[in-house]
Amino acid sequence: MILPKLREIKEALTSFFSAPYTTKFPFEPHTPEPEFRGLPRYHAESCVGCGSCAQVCPPQAITMTDDQTAGVRTLTVDYASCIHCGQCEEHCITGQGIKLSTEYSISVMDLKAPEMFESVQKELLYCEACRVVVAPRDQLKWIKNRLGAKAYAHPNLLLESQKEFFGLAPAKSKSRLRREDQVKVLCPKCRHKVVVEDEFYGFQKND
């Protein structure tokens, strides 16, 4: 048992008289490695507001809120709950909407302080028939750019492309959805009604 103790004493003395391996933080600022997983930050110009980051967040530190009155979607990261796992960055559909930075230190006395939150807001697009949320406008633009010429096969993407060049007058409301409502921004449920119910409107099952 003497030899192991001697080796431990030698290691302790060697470490005591050797240069430190750690940084001098907090007396000097520490610069993490580029691969360091720090605080996630939104990049508004690349984020499309799809909400995939909120869906895959294990501790549910990211919340998604749709404001029907203002017509915006707000994505918020709560750093008090974030575990810096990187799932939000990995599953971001654009790859640049949210990125883990090298920032790691937040010193606050209140967990509800503004510094403990990171938010981004995106304009929402609503169904012109039932007023449910279709998608954020930036998400439709991103899909349109990804599909290229194929995007013109979908009415929602076609209308969004037309709005970039000239305005479209709002359509008049009707008692029911008709075939001409195909050229409207509609949710999947209302578009199904246009295609199916209008085709068989007036047909009743004979008893």
Q: Is residue 11 part of a domain?
A: no
pLDDT digits (tens, 9 = 90+) for 84-102: 999 999 999 999 999 999 9
The CATH number linked to 116 is: 3.30.70.3270
Q: Is residue 183 part of a domain?
A: yes
pLDDT reading at 161 higher than 80: no
pLDDT score recorded for residue 192: 84
Among 81, 110, 125, the domain boundary falls at 125
The reply to whether 99 and 135 lie within a common domain is no
pLDDT score recorded for residue 175: 61
Structural contact between residues 104 and 39, judged by C-beta atoms closer than 8 angstroms = yes
- Residue 154's domain comprises 127-201
pLDDT score recorded for residue 206: 47
Among 125, 159, 178, the domain boundary falls at 125
CA distances for 108 relative to 27, 61, 115, angstroms = 19, 18, 8
pLDDT digits (tens, 9 = 90+) for 7-64: 888 888 888 888 777 777 778 888 888 889 999 999 999 999 999 999 999 999 999 9
Sorting pLDDT into bands at 50, 70 and 90, what band is 207?
Answer: very low
pLDDT score recorded for residue 2: 63
> Mean pLDDT, to the nearest integer, of 132-144?
93
Among 94, 125, 156, the domain boundary falls at 125
